């Protein structure tokens, strides 16, 4: 599974990278610092799944998800945020995200969530 990590916080990207590096069948193909960067890198690297933060500068994850799903409809989006705001999660789902996990749970839930998204499951906790 090829994964792109899009988050403006470097320590989150570093942590996600560390968790995923333990998995032999997961390759981090790129990292992005905002939604605009995520679009450019997704078009270049063609990931299977994008881990997309919702709140980012320049372009947020909601708009980036909407644009990414139009450009690359086969790419699945796992949304991620420290804000557990139902309205935001709803907007991500309407934009085309397959799932949502809170950053508070990311370390325990990341790999199983990625695998569920890759298999086509949708969930918004």
CATH code of the domain in which 84 resides = 3.40.50.2300
Q: Looking at 6-15, 69-78, 86-95, 105-114, which range is the least confident one?
A: 105-114
Report the SS3 class of residue 99: strand
At 125 the pLDDT is: 61
State the residue range of the domain holding 67: 2-124
Enter the DSSP assignment of 100.
E
Q: Are 2 and 29 in contact (CB under 8 A)?
A: yes
Report how far residue 67's alpha carbon sits from residue 18's, in angstroms, rounded to the nearest whole number: 28
The number of angstroms, rounded, from the C-alpha of 70 to the middle of its chain's C-alpha atoms is 16
Q: How many domains does the chain have?
A: 1
Q: What is the pLDDT of residues 33-67, one digit of tens each?
A: 999 999 999 999 999 999 999 999 999 999 999 99
Q: Are 38 and 58 in contact (CB under 8 A)?
A: no
């Amino acid at each position: 599974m090829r994964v792109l990590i899009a988050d403006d916080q470097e320590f989150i990207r570093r942590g996600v990278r560390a968790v995923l590096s333990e998995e032999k069948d997961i390759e981090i193909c790129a990292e992005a610092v905002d939604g605009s960067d995520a679009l450019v890198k997704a078009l270049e690297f063609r990931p299977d799944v994008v881990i997309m933060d919702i709140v980012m500068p320049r372009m947020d994850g909601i708009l980036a998800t909407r644009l990414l799903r139009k450009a690359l409809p086969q790419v699945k989006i796992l949304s991620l945020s420290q804000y557990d705001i139902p309205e935001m999660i709803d907007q991500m789902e309407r934009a085309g995200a397959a799932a949502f996990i809170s950053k508070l749970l990311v370390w325990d839930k990341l790999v199983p969530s990625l695998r569920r998204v890759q298999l086509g499951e949708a969930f918004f906790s």
